[in-house]
A = this chain, B = another copy of it.
Amino acid sequence: MFSKTCEYAIKACIYIASQSLVQKRVGIKDIAQAIESPEAFTGKIMQVLSKNHIVDSVKGPHGGFEIPESAMKEKRLAEVVRAMDGDDIFKSCGLGLKECSGANPCPLHSQFAKIRADITKLLETTSLYDVATGLADGLTFLKR
């Protein structure tokens, strides 16, 4: 479904958001620990998220990453996915045809298009705030 990179990115954003809810800025080490990802690789991912203005980054002592509450209410999961994996998941053919189109449909097009629309809806409507609260409340988990 998502690349490993994208999975890490989504989890990192949710974790950062949940910590930002209690005014805590978090470093790469914290993040890697919280989402069970390799530390250096997580750093690379954070660079991309930061460049795409999905997270705010602060260098130096007491630095780290954060997502202001106002921002996390706006940012959708779809933005994170687009930053990491592009928009393949939103528009490409399930059987790998060069482009998905009703005019030249693959044998799964009609059924697959529905599923893809559901995925798109999920990602486009869910904000980081929506998922961060469940984590903060101990209802959902990012590892195991």
Binding site for B on A (CB under 8 A): 1-2, 4, 7, 10-11, 14, 77, 89, 94-98, 104-109, 111-112, 114-115, 118-119, 122, 126, 131, 134-135, 139-144
Contact = CB atoms under 8 A, between A and B. Distances in A.
Given A14-B107, A115-B119, 9 more contacts: A2-B95, A4-B96, A7-B95, A11-B95, A97-B143, A105-B140, A107-B140, A115-B115, A118-B118
A65 B135 CA distance: 52
A123 B54 CA distance: 35
A106 B141 contact: yes
B122 A111 contact: yes
Contacts of A143: 97
Given A115-B119, A118-B118, A122-B115, A140 B106 contact: yes
